Each structure stands twice: as C-alpha cells, then as structure tokens.
Amino acid sequence: MFRSAIVGAILALVPAAIPAAVAGQQAAAPKPTARTSVAPPDFQGYWQGSGYATVDEAYDLENGMPENERIITGRSAATTRTKRADVVVIDTPDRKIPYQPWALALRDQLAKAAYAPTKLEDIDSLTRCFQMGVPRQSFLGGFQVVQMPGYVFIAHGNGGARTISLDGRPHLDSKIKLWAGDSVGHWEGNTLVVDVTNINEHGWYDVAGNFHSDNLHLVERWTVVDANTLRYEVLNDDPKVFTKPWILKNEYKRNTEEGYEQWENSCFEGERGVQLMLNAAKRANPQ
C-alpha cells in the first residue's frame, strides 16, 4: 500500500487519538517559544538523506559497513563510504560514542554477535522487522513530513511513524515506553526543537549493537536551512549508559521528483530471511 494512503488514514485520527492531557503525566514540558506573527517554515514533503550519514554509518555509526557485508550487498567502497563515520558523532574528541566501561564491553559483545548471530537477540530490531526507534529512524531511509496546526507528523519509509505535539502538553507518564518515544516540540526561528522521552530499550542505533537504555532522553533540532535543505542534530543523554551527552547529525535534501510517493519498506516478524542469517552463521562457525 502506498505510504500516502497510510498517512492520510492516520492523520484523520490524530486530533481525536491524542488527548490534551493524560492522567498521571509528568510535569509539563517548557512552553513553546513565542514566534509572534511569524508562521513556522513549511517543510512538508519528502526528504532523503544527503550529507553525513550514509548506508555504511547506518550499519555501524562508529566503524561503517564491514567489507564482507559490502560484498554481500554489492556496495563498493568507492560508491559508499570514504571514512565518513567519523563525522556522524560530532562532539567527542575521538568521534566515538562515550560509553561507560561496562556498556562499552556489552556493545563490543553485541557487535561481535551481530556479525555471527546464533540467536534472535543477536540481530537488530529492524532486521527482525520490528520498529527502528529513535533516533535511528532519522538516519536510515527517506521520510515524509506533514504539518498541521499543533502537530508535525513524520512517516519513515523503513518503518515507524511519529507525531510531534506542538501545543506544550506534558510528557506521558514515565512508565509508558514506546519505540518512537513521546515527542513534544516547539519552534525557535527556523528550527523545530523536539524533546523526546519515554523511549524503550529495544531499538539499537544501528545493526552493530550500539545501544541505549530506556532512560534515553533526546533533544532534536530540525533546522530548515532553505526550501530544499533540512539539517538534523540530536543530543543523546542516557546516564545509565553514557559518560556524557553526545550529538549525532545528518542532513537531508527535499525529493522534488514529480509524482513521488513514500512507500513503506515493510516486512513481518519471523520472516524467512532472519532464519537464513542464523543458518548461515551456524555453517560459518560450526560448534
């Protein structure tokens, strides 16, 4: 089914499906910054990644795609990655994710298992046909933005959708955990600032085991640079896992192709591809 049909059906339900207040919510998020009579910029439409994160970084934010995986997918180093993973994590001295020691050890264990999986838990959520979660869904594939009074809706081609509330409502109760979290935003000039909480722990950042806990708190900045350029930065704060907050960035170009529609790259949990991966890993590493 066309993504546009799905978007239309969801948008018809948005005002009724999202109450103004939910019992047991946390303290209210900061009130939106006043924009006087200036209307927020229009960034509706279709967007594709163009600048920082490539398919390689989506595979592994720190190290890019390994050579054996590039061979399998038919992606040559010349056409994909030229040491660009070091520009995705932008505010740490070594351009690495600032893990706590125990978390770094676990990430290395997850990464090793991801390249030779022996059980379902070794395979990332997207490959297993669950959702990507945030912020990963902002780094892989294209998306469609729809704006309406009080909301911004984002539908991602690789699965998952988000509704960003712009009315200053409080966040959901902290016990409620969601793949895409709970997004409350406001405009600061041409930048949509989104505070994201209530994220579950099941979504990785990539295929290679870079992870977070359910305590992850994101502050996203979506800046409309011009009519066809959208810049994204996200501050990742998780005191359970990281030694300090850190920033990821990406950039998108508007898809202006006439007649273009956002398709959903859908699959279903338990499909045969995952079992083939497990079988191949067992053959490659017999016990």
Residue 184, CA distances (Å) to 53, 97, 231 in order: 25, 25, 19
Calculate mean pLDDT across residues 268-274: 70
| Cα–Cα distance list, 51 to 16, 45, 60, 86, 219 (Å) | 37, 18, 16, 13, 20
Q: Average the pLDDT over 106-131 and give the result.
A: 87
Q: How confident is the model at residue 281 (pLDDT cuts 50, 70, 90)?
A: low
Q: What pLDDT does 94 receive?
A: 84
**d(Cα 48, Cα 255) in Å, to the nearest integer?**
6
Question: What is the average pLDDT across 166-171?
Answer: 95
pLDDT at residue 130 is higher than 70: yes
In a domain, 96, yes or no: yes
Q: Is 1 domain-assigned? A: no
Q: What is the mean pLDDT of residues 10-15?
A: 44
Q: What is the pLDDT of residues 46-77, one digit of tens each?
A: 998 876 666 677 788 888 777 766 655 555 54
List Cα–Cα distances, 175 to 22, 63, 208, in angstroms: 13, 34, 28
Number of H helices, E strands in the chain: 5, 9
pLDDT in tens, 21-31: 333 444 444 45
In a domain, 213, yes or no: yes
Task: For the chain, give the percent of residues with pLDDT over 90.
Answer: 44
Closest C-alpha among 75, 119, 94, 112 to residue 279: 119
The per-residue pLDDT for 58 is 76
User: What average pLDDT does this structure show over 206-212?
Assistant: 93
Q: Collect all residues with Cβ–Cβ distance below 8 Å to 60 and sequence separation of at least 6.
A: 66, 85, 111, 206, 207, 208, 210
> Domain with 151 in it: what CATH number?
2.40.128.20
Measure the CA–CA gap between 58 and 88, rounded to whole angstroms.
10
Higher-pLDDT residue of 247 and 125 is 247
What are 235's two structure tokens?
């501050």
Residue 180 lies in a domain: yes
Whether 7 is in a domain gets the answer: no
The confidence score (pLDDT) of residue 284 equals 67
Query: 152 or 161, which is more confident?
Result: 152
Burial of 175: CB neighbours in 10 Å, binned 0-12, 13-18, 19+: exposed
Q: What letter represents residue 253's amino acid?
A: K
pLDDT of residue 286: 67
**For residue 191, is it within any domain?**
yes
pLDDT greater at residue 28 or residue 212: 212
Contact 148, 164 (CB under 8 A): no
Residue range 215-255, pLDDT digits in tens:
999 999 999 999 999 999 999 999 999 999 999 988 899 99
* Contact in structure between 282 and 118 (CB atoms under 8 Å): yes
Which residues fall within 8 angstroms of residue 70, CB to CB, at 6 or more apart? 56, 76, 77, 80
Confidence at 201, pLDDT banded by 50, 70, 90: very high
Domain range spanning residue 63?
A: 40-284
Task: Say whether pLDDT at 120 is over 70.
Answer: yes
CA distance 65 to 104: 19
Supply the mean pLDDT for the chain: 79
- Mean pLDDT value across residues 120-140: 83
Domain assignment of residue 22, yes or no: no
Better pLDDT: 272 or 5: 272
Does 263 or 165 have the greater pLDDT score? 165
Is 11 inside a domain boundary? no
- For residues 219 and 191, is the Cβ–Cβ distance under 8 A? no
Four-residue CA torsion sign, 117, 122, 128, 131: negative
Instruction: Indicate whether this model's pTM tops 0.75.
Output: yes
With pLDDT > 70 as the criterion, what percentage of the chain qualifies?
Answer: 72
Q: What is the pLDDT of residue 72?
A: 52
How many separate domains does the chain show? 1
Instruction: Give the span between the Cα atoms of 183 and 194, in whole angstroms.
Output: 6
